[in-house]
Chains A and B, each alone.
Chain A
Amino acid sequence: MTFHITIDGRPVPVTPGQTIGAALHAAGVRSWRSTRFGGRPRGLFCGIGVCFDCLISVNGRAPERACLVEAAPGDEVTTS
């Protein structure tokens, strides 16, 4: 049942129904973005689409909230 997505080319397992943010967090990837000014690492914070800390690029699209986007097989996510 498990499938994979990749983050910067590395495979991350996903249980169907999980969001991209949840799959990354579960795989021990807890930050995937640096802030503009301080270069601070950021990942999940509110987990429900409110805080925008978990922004991530999926398949080259503009940033989305990782906590809201359901992971699909083969999704390629890239950190910034």
Chain B
Amino acid sequence: MTYDLVVIGGGPAGVAGALTAAQAGLRVALVDSAMRLGGQYFRHSADPRPAPGLDRFLRLARALDSRADLLLRHQVWSLTRGPDGDLTVHCTAPDRTALPVAARRVLIATGAHDRPLPFPGWDLPGVLTAGGAQALLKGNDVVAGRRIVVAGTGPFLLPVASGLAGAGARVLGVFEANGGLGLARHPLLALGKAGEAAGYAADLVRHRVPYRTRRAVVAAHGEREVEAVTVARLDKDWNVLATRVLECDTVAVGYGFVPQIDLGVQLGCATRHDVDGSPVLAVDAGQRTSVAGVWAAGEPTGVGGWRLSELEGRIAGQVIAADWRAHGGEAGAGAVAGVLLRRRERWRAFGEALQRAYPVQPGWQSWLRDDTLVCRCEEVPLARVREAQSLGATDARSIKLLARPGMGWCQGRICGYAVSCLAGEPPQPPRRPIAQPVTLGALADLTDDPTVQ
């Protein structure tokens, strides 16, 4: 059977897109690697302050459950097109068997992940990404540690700190590397999210969590796990002005997000560089990528938060439904409601304003020492990256070939941004022919697939 639409990703963009299309009459499947719908933002469970929009998302998810096939705990590792033009979404089922799903149209809604920056000791157990600490709390009811430092840049640090403090952790501080704004002039306030920001600010005050700007964790210390961190006061370029040591058992760090665009790149979708330099999938007003039959919504088209993701998902769903009607011989491609387009513009502007307000500044490179691991998987220290550069490597790809950062398990998802910065170039679109680990058996099945050349 060939689905009219297969949606990859069960967050706000994917669920909104799948539901919109299913309500229009399309046969829809949604694939997600998690056990439940929600993506990284709408993880269920007991949070002291439920994520804004959670009730609404759960209503959409319930509505979708009865109208589409949900393939949860399925990981998509490749997207291919056959000679007949149909697409195949290659998944692995929970038991690791290969499951190709045939689709006339695909919506890529694969979200984003934390963008960490390396610093000495960042590979010690107890150092987590901010999203990792959040996933433990919201998805598992596990508080990441007892004495926690939250550091990085961007408003995402606020719900993370608030959630941890509310769940009983002692949050020793939120260290925001950018600054000058403070919470009172936080962009969230200026952009109509006053209530949300004020709620988190009140949580921090209530739990006596200091919020400090122009500060960063520049080193983690410990033998087998984190025992302390060095917190630095920074200038506006993030060079260290002064330091102090803070005892803690856990660090949650995040410097923005990396959109996950592998599957689109595999199919040849055009990319562009977003405001913060991230490669993202280029889409038109109808969320179409440059490849026929392939749409994208949410963070893969540019990081902007759950409201923008849901709007993009709905718009994609409407345009996909119009495409389906047109191909089914029904009259006219229905226009997308203007109000949705206007709202999307507003939230896009909001997302871009956030990216401008919380840039990554080059001074972080001065936090590294020669022996600081840049690539965690292949254990490549800064010295080897510099050695590759002294041998003539002038771009991230040459550095990778000479020194191996990005050649390990994560395929550069974690270190790719840092290596690009060290090379002095914006991050390039990922070239990963396989987006998730897959068994050789599944690969062998792929070669038997007559639709694949």
Contact = CB atoms under 8 A, between A and B. Distances in A.
Interface in B328-385: 376-377, 379
Q: Which of A23, A52, A68 has the largest count of B CB atoms less than 10 A from its CB?
A: A52
A23 B113 CA distance: 22
A56 to B, nearest CB: 13
Q: Which of A25, A55, A67 has the largest count of B CB atoms less than 10 A from its CB?
A: A25
B413 A51 contact: yes
B146 to A, nearest CB: 10
B128 A47 contact: yes
A35 B125 contact: no
Contacts of A51: 129, 376-377, 409-410, 413-414
Report the contact-size class of chain A (Cβ under 8 Å from the partner).
20 to 34
Chain A interface mostly: loop
A45 B127 contact: yes
Contact of B376 (A15, A45, A48): A45
Contacts, number: 98
B114 interface: yes
Contact of B140 (A18, A35, A55): A18
A26 B135 contact: no
Given A17-B35, A40-B123, A48 B144 contact: no
B160 to A, nearest CB: 12
Interface string B126-169: 11110111111001111110000000000000000000000000
A74 interface: no
Interface string A35-70: 111101111111111111101000000000001101
Given A17-B35, A30-B225, A49-B33, A43 B142 contact: no
Contact of A53 (B40, B225, B376): B376
Nearest to B411: A52
Given A50-B414, A51-B414, A52-B410, A43 B139 contact: no
A25 B224 CA distance: 14
Given A22-B139, A51-B376, A46 B144 contact: no
Chain B interface mostly: loop
A31 B125 contact: yes
Contact of B125 (A17, A30, A47, A50): A30
A51 B379 CA distance: 13
Interface string B372-411: 0000110100000000000000000000000000001110
Contacts of B413: 50-51
Nearest to B249: A30
Given A41-B225, A47-B133, A22 B379 contact: no
B142 A18 contact: yes
Q: Which of A38, A50, A70 has the largest count of B CB atoms less than 10 A from its CB?
A: A50
A70 B125 CA distance: 21
Nearest to A55: B409
Interface of A: 15, 17-19, 22-23, 25-26, 30-31, 35-38, 40-53, 55, 67-68, 70
Interface of B: 33, 35, 40, 113-114, 116, 123-129, 131-136, 139-144, 224-225, 376-377, 379, 408-410, 413-414
21 contacts: A17-B35, A18-B140, A18-B142, A19-B140, A22-B136, A23-B140, A30-B126, A31-B125, A37-B379, A38-B379, A41-B125, A45-B414, A47-B132, A47-B133, A47-B136, A48-B132, A50-B414, A51-B376, A51-B413, A51-B414, A68-B33
